[in-house]
Structure 1
Amino acid sequence: MSKPHRFPPALAVPAVVFIIIGLALAAGGVPLVTLGGSWYYVITGIAIALTGVLLAIRRRSALLLFALVLFGSTIWAVTEARFDFWQLLPRLWVWLVLALWLLLPPVTRKLVFGPPAAHREGVVPLAAAVVITVLLGIGTAFNHPYDHPGTLASTAATPSPALPGDANRQAGDWTDYGGSPLGQRYSPLTQITPQNAGQLKVAWQFETGDKPGPGDPTETTDENTPIKVGNKLFLCTPHSIVIALDPATGKELWRYNPHIQSPVGFKHWEHMTCRGVSYHDDALYPANATVATADNAAGASAPAANGGENSAANAASNVTAAAAPGSDTSAAAPAAASSADTASASTEAGASGAAAAAQPASAAIAASEASAATQQTANAAASAECPRRIFLPTADARLIALNADTGQPCTHFGNNGQIDLRTNIGPFTPGGYYSTSPPAVTRDLVIISGHVTDNESTNEPSGVTRAFDVHDGHLVWNWDAGNPDATQPIGPNQTYVRNSPNMWSVFSVDEKLGMVYLPLGNQTPDQWGGLRTPASEKVAAGIVALDLATGKMRWNYQFTHHDLWDMDVGGQPSLIDLQTASGVQPALIASTKQGSIYVLNRETGKPIVPITEEPVPQGAASGDHTSPTQPFSALNFKPPKVRERDMWGTNPFDQLWCRVKFKSLRYDGMFTPPSEQGSLVFPGNFGVFDWGGVAVDPVRQILIANPSYMAFTSKLIPRSQIPSDNGDKKGSETSGIKLARGTPYGFELNAFLSPLGIPCQAPPWGYVAGVDLRTNRIAWEHKNGTIRDSAPLPIPMPLGVPSLGGMITTAGGVAFLSGTLDYYLRAYDVHTGDRLWQARLPAGGQATPMTYADSSGKQYVLVTAGGHGSLGTKQGDYVIAYTLP
């Protein structure tokens, strides 16, 4: 016969488990309390440990005590998270499981000490606490506090143009990275609609054969958006291989491999990618068409330097209008002086003097005409060899022109078909300079800038933008933010200004206004700016508009002053003729990492949507400074300030870890400066909007976007404390320790993740959203995506996940996105934002989709699925096209 005081196994196991859990929770909560955080974890941990002790001594009061724990935790959870199911779940599910364990008969029957009434008084409250918690979960599971339903216009707001950007472009083509040079990511195709999008099926699938290998960088990414012109699709792979495919079948037509090289291999490069190629066809430009140049645009190119009528006065200083190119002092003024001198001399000296003065003028005219004739002959020869061309930027810093029909190099361009972009750049670490994005192509020019490795040193390559003749490749002009007035082609033995801000994203072009628009980064390194130059500080982290003919700056507008947070303007600007209260205005829409969407008049640089300067946190590191204010657009997706209660986790323990980490960081809100303590950067390095930009429908006057919210941490490490074994670069550009040679600090950058690799701040982390551009109103916003492919268990919890890559939209009323961390291509109704369809991808789709029509008029949606190394999505080499049955 067993004795009553014997310790039965049915109680021994839960007693030990409760004591361990309680002590661990209480011990973990102590640092949080010392940092000024919540006492919940200490108090709850002690109560759970005492429950374990009571179980060990077989006291019935253990049930009542844990009922109080579950009741109290439920009240605390609702107080912190309100009725958000996905925030309540990690706070309560572990305690709910423990409560159910205690209610099992093998446990309750072994609790023999205490008055008999205590058994009933313990079981009933504990069961009641369980029921309340379960009902709370069921009730909140159907609550969507972060979903904001609404509607956008489903009909045209403006008469439909023949095509976005250029009436000579065919409706079924996608001729540029952003659909057209305007960067709208819009197609006038209407075959796919909200009514039939659910029927989309795979039309064909192609594998490029270019998969990341062991010798490639960690951040090897497939961010490619193919283009389609006529009867060919053109795409590039991470190793800069160009492939032409049949749009209807996916059959390979030709392939060009530039055989990129590196003296030390590719393993230690920060990243490797190719976002796309560019296309040029003389047939798109009628011989008698007029394109704005420095001369015929001068009258409109000298806007006032202050902000627009709707902007705050202190925001107006962000926009800088340059002198009209036609009146530039470095070129036009001396010419004018010479002309005036000649006229004066003619008046005084009479007809003989005039005749003498006319002789050199006649000679100059003759020489100019001869030069023009020679250039025309050369262009004709180049066009005969390559009437249609593909321009490829390679990862080893070349620009290659290929015959779009055959894939053969255009030998009349540059040096046997290629230009060495290292020319005049100076030394750099292998992989530290090349163009990751497609160049801009106009009637006469191919314009290219480049990626420069962040945070390596203060002696990195220039961020210069260069314009080459589209036919023969000679340098026409160069614009360097470090020396912005010197746009004449640089001499053969000169070097562009080191470390000047670069343009690594995608240009937008308005050839009617004669402007090219540059979304700029900052002067590296990102997190400490004590050595930045006045020239760089003026234009960095904003938009610069350059004159196409001369490269002279027309205007600029800065979106982040003295950027210390890697707030590069990553997205390609979208150009649209926008309906406003003041009439139709030529608008430029720039999405930014900080969440503001800036809407400017693209002719003058003045704000159309109001921009205000707002105070931001101060207190920069030694030797640096911060701007007292930053510009915020009235149209924005900026997140609210993060609080301790916003920390998240899959269970109370990793949530506690995130709370302790959060309280240990410096965080005073958006634009908290980097610090030796470590600072929380939110929005983080990937930003609310990155290189994917936004999609705009010029007919409906709407904007479709995919905002993301991931926090990062940034820590300054004094030079003497940088680990000696950190000589090699580690991680990607957004993770690991960065040396930042030449500054007093190194930097440690990381996503703000729990030990399980899940974001520490509460979901949703990603949305799709629709904006009415006529009212600047966010009409609808829905969380988007699941954690199926990023959680330890492949459970498709619909939390809303970040996305990298942009959206496209169509005249048919359907938008598409593939960049989420789960592997899906999804279709949405632009009217409501409702998801219409989704297709599983074989790898990460961190690229912007595109759409086109084949020769029969059949519409396709196409995406590349190759994964993203630094995001950890599955890698591959897939190109997949979908169409209706």
Structure 2
Amino acid sequence: MKTVRYCRGVLLPTILALASACHAASDSTPDSSPSLQAGSTPLEAAHWPNYGGPDAAQYTPLTEIHPGNVAGLELAWTHNSGDFSDGSGDWGLTSLQVTPLVSGDTLYYCTPFGRVFALDAETGNERWQFDPEIQNRRSGVYPAVCRGVALWQAQDAAEAAGVCGQRIIYGTRDAELIALDATTGALCDDFGDAGRVSLKEQVGGGEPWVYYPTSPPWIQGGNAVIGALVPDNESKNVPSGVVRAFDVRSGALAWAWEPVSDAYRERHRDSLGNARYHLGTPNVWAPISGDPELGLIYVPTGNPAPDLYGGDRDGIDEYGSSVVALDAATGKLQWHFQTVHNDIWDYDVASQPTLFTLPGVGEGRPGLAQATKMGHVFLLDRATGEPLYPVEERPVPQGGVAGEQLSPTQPFPTHPQPLHQPAQLGPGDMDGFIGLDRLACQRTLAKYRSEGMFTPPSLEGTVVYPASTGGINWGGISIDAGRGILVANQMHLAQVVQLLPRDEYDELNPAPGYPLEHYRMEGSPYGVRRFPLMSPLGAPCNPRPWGSLTAVDLKTGNTLWTRSLGNTRGQAPWPFWFDAGTPNAGGPLSTASGLIFIGATTDSRFRAFDSTNGSLLWEYRLPYTGNATPLSYRVQPGGRQFVVLAAGGHGWSEAGDAIMAFSLPAESRQSKQ
């Protein structure tokens, strides 16, 4: 179906939608490698084998497009699937967050409603499409999303040349794992039930459109490893957050890891009944990554249900809001690092773990960078989980509601220092479009508890900053290995979270809506009211920039530069057009030539920045907001370098369906790099 809605206006609808909606490589894939190259040899081919690229670093070694010629970048081709919706009628709203894959001369991507397309990567011409024919109905506050597909290729030459010797594997909103022949798009009959595996097997509460994958599986060691989305804030008894591995050939379950401790499992064994997995455990909805050489996969976890109250968790959160290393062959826990203790702010780990090995960083040990919604980036030894640099347990505000169990401290990285500032919002920090706007924000702030990051939700209302949208969300970070630069884009938004005693909430019986969100948190003593901290004119009350791009020197841990990301033009009424930064969703791409490409912003622009100083070098007006992470590739030696971005909105902008490829015109291309 194809319907269109135009809703660009003041920043308010953007903030509200973001507050609600932000809720793979292979050892058998020839392009994947545990070590990044700093740059490419002239005109070599370079593909994009998994969601975040090699090492999940959102980095390309290609250098044909560079700071000296990027201003000449042009649109080469566009592919439109027609598979999107503005949310009218029974159909849910769509958000095009996909990062395609490129293998050989073919580009693969999925649509929000689960169709898969294979395109000629040079021309954008369609080779095949697959429709899973699922029922795509409205599903709460979440837009329909498919962030990507995974690719597996047999290593045996005879098997690789046969039917389904190269497979596309992905999850759908019907909670199915599907395997397709990458050459023809036909279902692989030997996988599960005629190409399909139900992910709802032995998962309690897994009703349609409540439990399903939004990120691609990670393929390693012949297994496809996948988690799933579950509803936030609704109930204590949402489906389990179990992570499972399925054999890429047969679809058989290889192993399952449930993010609960053995002690918790023993205490609650009698509560399972006929189910295999516990309800309400932390889930893994963000992209997974892995290291084939170490035989480990890395899963980022969310916090346990019902998210914003944790007084009766009884240890269910031991692996919540963490990055967890599992044995790729068995699923056994190897180590975990918790980024938030007893997370009651919905600060789940939303971005893909990124791998790096850099001289002078952590003594050159193989590292993992985990970015968080708090604007923290933890640098860990990826073999052991030990921090490469000191992590400090700092005292945080106490005094939550009756029954709450708070951690007295929270972990803070020291290298790099937290990227999200300031730590606490006071009257002098209030912003807006004009002076009266700021005064109104100051009066609003005075009503609520505001004591800095990790101030617990309260009955009077607590300012949560950064909001549960981030900071750094699912768009993740990029690492330029040659320069030792880490790049992160962030949202800077504040929200108010107010807990309501169960009797009061039930008597109120609020209807869902915006700007005032209400969630039942069924099974807990409280319901919750949540809303953005906004000025009367629709601007965020917190200080500018409202969206930013930051580059960090990984060797020193120092910020190299930071700048606003996005312009309010077209989002706010004239004369309130500023380079103040805008809310953003999507990630950055770094190139070996010294560029950073990013869409993400609400002003519908695709931009290129100089990675050494943050200066803007190129921008392109998109037909829809580009809320995805770009990729770059060259199909064959001597061919063009392409940069591709999916532009199709994110719930707060016009819904669309454009996969857009950019390259240099023939007259601008150099014979060598």
Tell me the TM-score normalized by structure 2: 0.88
Which whole-Å CA distance do the structure 1 matches of 2:165 and 2:262 have between them?
34
Task: Name the structure 1 match of 2:324.
Answer: 544
Task: Name the structure 1 match of 2:519.
Answer: 738
**1:539 match: secondary structure:** coil
1:658 aligns with 2:438: no
Task: Name the structure 1 match of 2:84.
Answer: 211
Task: Name the structure 2 match of 1:253.
Answer: 127
Residue type of the alignment partner of 1:848? T
Which whole-Å CA distance do the structure 2 matches of 1:658 and 1:250 have between them?
48
Match of 1:608 among 384, 388, 396: 388
Tell me by how many angstroms 1:706 deviates.
1.2
CA offsets 1:299-355 (integer angstroms, 9 cap, x no match): xxxxxxxxxxxxxxxxxxxxxxxxxxxxxxxxxxxxxxxxxxxxxxxxxxxxxxxxx
Residue type of the alignment partner of 1:532? R
Return the index of the structure with the highest Cα Rg. 1
1:521 aligns with 2:302: yes
Match of 1:224 among 84, 88, 98: 98
Task: Name the structure 2 match of 1:877.
Answer: 657
Task: Name the structure 1 match of 2:634.
Answer: 853
Tell me by how many angstroms 1:581 deviates.
6.7
Which whole-Å CA distance do the structure 1 matches of 2:92 and 2:575 have between them?
23
Tell me by how many angstroms 1:267 deviates.
5.2
Do 1:763 and 1:799's aligned partners in 2 also have CA atoms closer than 8 Å? yes
Please identify which structure carries the higher strand content: 2
Residue type of the alignment partner of 1:749? R
Structure possessing the higher relative contact order (Cα contacts under 8 Å, 6 or more residues apart): 2
Unaligned runs of 5+ in 1: 1-159, 288-379
Tell me by how many angstroms 1:853 deviates.
1.3
Match of 2:376 among 568, 591, 596: 596
CA offsets 1:627-666 (integer angstroms, 9 cap, x no match): 1110000112031221112212223333232211111011
1:388 aligns with 2:262: no
Task: Name the structure 1 match of 2:197.
Answer: 419
Do 1:269 and 1:432's aligned partners in 2 also have CA atoms closer than 8 Å? no
1:173 aligns with 2:73: no
Tell me by how many angstroms 1:751 deviates.
2.0
Task: Name the structure 1 match of 2:138.
Answer: 266
The verdict on how the C-alpha distance between 1:735 and 1:776 changes in structure 2, with shifts beyond 3 A counting, is farther
Residue type of the alignment partner of 1:858? R
CA offsets 1:88-132 (integer angstroms, 9 cap, x no match): xxxxxxxxxxxxxxxxxxxxxxxxxxxxxxxxxxxxxxxxxxxxx
Task: Name the structure 2 match of 1:276.
Answer: 148
**1:653 match: secondary structure:** helix
**2:443 match: secondary structure:** helix
Alignment of 1:817-828 (within 5 A): 817-828=598-609
> Identity over the aligned pairs, expressed in percent?
40
Match of 1:864 among 634, 646, 649: 646
Do 1:217 and 1:269's aligned partners in 2 also have CA atoms closer than 8 Å? no
Match of 2:243 among 465, 476, 479: 465
Tell me by how many angstroms 1:443 deviates.
3.3
1:699 aligns with 2:482: yes
Match of 1:406 among 168, 184, 188: 184
Which whole-Å CA distance do the structure 2 matches of 1:236 and 1:675 have between them?
41
Do 1:509 and 1:517's aligned partners in 2 also have CA atoms closer than 8 Å? yes
**1:655 match: secondary structure:** helix
Which whole-Å CA distance do the structure 1 matches of 2:495 and 2:56 have between them?
29
Tell me the TM-score normalized by structure 1: 0.67
The verdict on how the C-alpha distance between 1:582 and 1:210 changes in structure 2, with shifts beyond 3 A counting, is closer
Which whole-Å CA distance do the structure 2 matches of 1:399 and 1:555 have between them?
27
Alignment of 1:711-726 (within 5 A): 711-722=494-505, 726=509
Task: Name the structure 2 match of 1:844.
Answer: 625
CA offsets 1:219-260 (integer angstroms, 9 cap, x no match): 631111111111111111111111111111111111111122
1:768 aligns with 2:549: yes
Tell me by how many angstroms 1:722 deviates.
2.2
Match of 1:508 among 276, 281, 289: 289
Match of 1:790 among 571, 574, 588: 571
Alignment of 1:45-124 (within 5 A): none
The verdict on how the C-alpha distance between 1:443 and 1:216 changes in structure 2, with shifts beyond 3 A counting, is farther
1:565 aligns with 2:345: yes
Do 1:578 and 1:584's aligned partners in 2 also have CA atoms closer than 8 Å? yes
Which whole-Å CA distance do the structure 1 matches of 2:502 and 2:264 have between them?
36
**2:446 match: secondary structure:** helix
Greater shift after overlay, 739-748 or 761-770?
761-770
1:530 aligns with 2:301: no
1:637 aligns with 2:419: yes
Residue type of the alignment partner of 1:417? G
Residue type of the alignment partner of 1:400? I
Tell me by how many angstroms 1:610 deviates.
1.5
The verdict on how the C-alpha distance between 1:631 and 1:742 changes in structure 2, with shifts beyond 3 A counting, is same
Do 1:163 and 1:171's aligned partners in 2 also have CA atoms closer than 8 Å? no
CA offsets 1:45-96 (integer angstroms, 9 cap, x no match): xxxxxxxxxxxxxxxxxxxxxxxxxxxxxxxxxxxxxxxxxxxxxxxxxxxx
Do 1:806 and 1:848's aligned partners in 2 also have CA atoms closer than 8 Å? yes
Tell me by how many angstroms 1:381 deviates.
7.2
The verdict on how the C-alpha distance between 1:241 and 1:539 changes in structure 2, with shifts beyond 3 A counting, is same
Task: Name the structure 2 match of 1:349.
Answer: none
Task: Name the structure 1 match of 2:405.
Answer: 625
Task: Name the structure 2 match of 1:317.
Answer: none
The verdict on how the C-alpha distance between 1:782 and 1:530 changes in structure 2, with shifts beyond 3 A counting, is same
How many residues are matched? 620
CA offsets 1:677-730 (integer angstroms, 9 cap, x no match): 111000111111011110002232221111221111111112222266857654
Match of 1:183 among 35, 52, 56: 56
Which whole-Å CA distance do the structure 2 matches of 1:254 and 1:617 have between them?
55
**2:329 match: secondary structure:** coil
Task: Name the structure 2 match of 1:302.
Answer: none
CA offsets 1:172-200 (integer angstroms, 9 cap, x no match): 211111012x2111111111101011110
CA offsets 1:136-162 (integer angstroms, 9 cap, x no match): xxxxxxxxxxxxxxxxxxxxxxxx967
* C-alpha RMSD over aligned residues: 2.6
Which whole-Å CA distance do the structure 2 matches of 1:880 and 1:782 have between them?
26
Task: Name the structure 1 match of 2:29.
Answer: none
Which whole-Å CA distance do the structure 1 matches of 2:396 and 2:599 have between them?
35
Alignment of 1:808-823 (within 5 A): 808-823=589-604
Task: Name the structure 1 match of 2:109.
Answer: 235
**2:365 match: secondary structure:** strand
Please identify which structure carries the higher helix content: 1
Do 1:164 and 1:186's aligned partners in 2 also have CA atoms closer than 8 Å? no
Tell me by how many angstroms 1:582 deviates.
6.2
1:197 aligns with 2:70: yes
Task: Name the structure 2 match of 1:799.
Answer: 580
Which whole-Å CA distance do the structure 1 matches of 2:654 and 2:511 have between them?
26
CA offsets 1:806-843 (integer angstroms, 9 cap, x no match): 10111121110000121100001112111110000111
Tell me by how many angstroms 1:485 deviates.
9.4
Alignment of 1:748-767 (within 5 A): 748-767=529-548
Which whole-Å CA distance do the structure 2 matches of 1:578 and 1:715 have between them?
44
